[in-house]
Amino acid sequence: MTTTNRSKKPEGEPVGIALLGFGTVGAEVFRLVQENADAFAHRIGGPVEIRGVAVHNKNKLRPGVPEELLTDYAKALVLRDDIDLVVEVIGGIDFPRELVLAALNAGKSVVTANKALVAAHADELAEAADRADVDLYFEAAVAAAIPVVGMLRRSLAGDKIQRISGIVNGTTNFILDAMESTGASYEDALAEATRLGYAEADPTADVEGHDAASKAAILASLGFYTRLTFDDVYCEGISKITADDITAANQAGYSIKLLAICERLVDEETGAESVNARVHPTLVPKEHPLASVSQSYNAIFVEAEAAGSLMFYGNGAGGNPTASAVLGDVIGAARNIVHGGRAPGENTYANLPIAEFGEVETRYHVDMEVEDRTGVLSAISGVFARHGVSLRTVRQEDGDATARLIVVTHAAKEAVLEDIVAALGELDEVKAVHSVIRLGV
Ligand code: HSE
């Protein structure tokens, strides 16, 4: 066996892979590595071999997987001398964190699809990868097959990202799209998403925006070279969106989408920059490309200083699309093991301050039930005016005893809008503030 100067492995010796997890994604990764062994060897410059598969229950039948590869002792597999690369597709946070850290500390490169782990512990994981001089890849953690992590890490590394607006959760996009296209209630659309297998038995992480918030933290960290974790992301889900909200949005020329928005803010007076990441239902003008993203598809709209606007669209979940992203990372990491070197890691050199959500400026669509009599409009517009917020449009629909008033504002800070909603709630003329939905992109 010979070893080149740059190589980390004797020529021709396979890169040994430990696969942690054998669910929908793990099974696809396993199948594709077996079926494409020759092609992958050419693309890498040497063979790869899955040498162990860690599962919860090794007695469960797994057709096509040799029994001797299965183990229920994941930590021992990770630490084995013949393992060079660990692929983590288990999910959760604490157990995979322990395994991924053990792998990195033992000098093994890691590929993970685990957005919750990366969004919560990226600093710790990146430091361990740097210390060991190995790769830590996580393309599949955001929008599966859509190559958005690589795009931010490599393709746009010479540009300056201003804003990223993404539909990064397929379940919620399916629900909102079903509500818009069929007039269904939120509850009925969620039931349909569950029946079709999009929504989990416990849909909380999707519908309350937590899954999208993890992805927003990852995108913002990469785009702004500043560490943001899950806890830094303001998060509001779709469970309060009603069929009425969808109809009102449609009538005004908008679709409602759950957007993950990562934004660079610039102080007008000082020029000082900060960043913010947030997830909330957003009114998207029908003519914007994000409005036409239907069913469970994902899309990420990136605005960069030199590149201008870019949009990436495709399958953001599922066994095959996620396995595609995992395998792209496997090939990248294996190539570095064979030829030497490391992929561009995470870099948080800019370390920009994270702006409070209250400082973010947005336009708002405020839907109220009001008394239908003289002076009501002036009382309501007075509340906005006293807070320095100008109104863009006002629409009234007559009801029986009351009227529905829909106000769209010009840009205002979140903190100011919160005060306005509180003040509206105290007016006798306002019977209820039904919804406040932000306008975006
Ligand atoms: N549950 C996610 C979605 C996929 O619905 O898009 C995994 O992040």
For residue range 14-36, what is the model confidence (pLDDT) as tens digits? 999 999 999 999 999 999 999 99
**CA 334 – CA 332 distance, rounded (Å):** 6
Ligand 1, atom 7: nearest CA belongs to which residue?
317
Percent of the residues in the chain that have a pLDDT greater than 70, as a whole number: 98
Predicted pLDDT at 401: 84
Q: Which protein residues are within 6 Å of ligand 1, measured from CB? A: 169-171, 206, 211, 316-317
Q: Is 172 annotated as a binding residue?
A: no
Q: Is the pLDDT of residue 125 over 90?
A: yes
Confidence of residue 441 (pLDDT cuts 50, 70, 90): confident
Q: Is the pLDDT of residue 1 over 80?
A: no
Alpha helices in 225-271 (DSSP H): 243-251
Q: Tell me the average pLDDT across 237-244.
A: 97
Task: Give pTM, 2 decimals.
Answer: 0.95
pLDDT in tens, 31-62: 999 999 999 999 999 999 999 999 999 999 89
**Polymer length of the chain:** 441
Predicted pLDDT at 166: 97
Q: Is the pLDDT of residue 2 over 80?
A: no
Q: Is the pLDDT of residue 126 over 50?
A: yes
Q: Is 24 annotated as a binding residue?
A: yes
- Spot the catalytic one: 8, 9, 108, 215: 215
Q: Is 200 annotated as a binding residue?
A: yes
Architecture of the domain defined by 358-437: 2-Layer Sandwich (3.30)
The atom number, within ligand 1, closest to the CA of 322 reads 7
pLDDT in tens, 247-301: 999 999 999 999 999 999 999 999 999 999 999 999 999 999 999 999 999 999 9
Phi, psi of 398 (to 5 degrees): -75, 135
Confidence of residue 5 (pLDDT cuts 50, 70, 90): very low
Place of tokens 């818009």: 180
Domain 13-143+317-337: homologous superfamily in CATH = NAD(P)-binding Rossmann-like Domain (3.40.50.720)
234 C-alpha to center of ligand 1: Å? 18
The atom number, within ligand 1, closest to the CA of 199 reads 5
139 C-alpha to center of ligand 1: Å? 14
Q: Is 280 left (phi over 0), alpha (psi -120 to 50) or beta?
A: beta
The CATH number of the structural domain formed by 148-313 is 3.30.360.10
Average pLDDT score over the chain: 95
**CA 14 – CA 84 distance, rounded (Å):** 9
5 C-alpha to center of ligand 1: Å? 43
Helix or strand (DSSP H, E) at 195: helix 186-195
Q: Is 150 annotated as a binding residue?
A: no
**CA 184 – CA 303 distance, rounded (Å):** 33
Predicted pLDDT at 199: 86
Kind of pairing, strands 109-112 and 136-137? parallel
Q: Is 8 a catalytic residue?
A: no
Percent of the residues in the chain that have a pLDDT greater than 90, as a whole number: 92
What burial class does residue 2 get, using C-beta atoms within 10 Å of its C-beta: 0-12 exposed, 13-18 middle, 19+ buried?
exposed
Predicted pLDDT at 400: 80
Mutation pick for ligand 1 pocket among 174, 192, 206 (CB with most ligand atoms within 8 Å):
206
Helix or strand (DSSP H, E) at 378: helix 376-386
Ligand 1, atom 2: nearest CA belongs to which residue?
169
pLDDT in tens, 387-439: 999 999 999 988 788 999 999 999 999 999 999 999 999 999 999 999 999 99
Domain range list for the chain: 13-143+317-337, 148-313, 358-437
Q: Is 318 left (phi over 0), alpha (psi -120 to 50) or beta?
A: left
**CA 436 – CA 299 distance, rounded (Å):** 24
Predicted pLDDT at 245: 96
**CA 287 – CA 171 distance, rounded (Å):** 23
Confidence of residue 346 (pLDDT cuts 50, 70, 90): confident
Confidence of residue 7 (pLDDT cuts 50, 70, 90): low
**CA 255 – CA 175 distance, rounded (Å):** 12
Alpha helices in 89-114 (DSSP H): 94-105
pLDDT in tens, 356-382: 999 999 999 999 999 999 999 999 999
Alpha helices in 143-182 (DSSP H): 148-150, 170-182
**CA 117 – CA 317 distance, rounded (Å):** 17
The atom number, within ligand 1, closest to the CA of 198 reads 5
Closest C-alpha among 160, 149, 87, 84 to residue 119: 149
What burial class does residue 246 get, using C-beta atoms within 10 Å of its C-beta: 0-12 exposed, 13-18 middle, 19+ buried?
buried
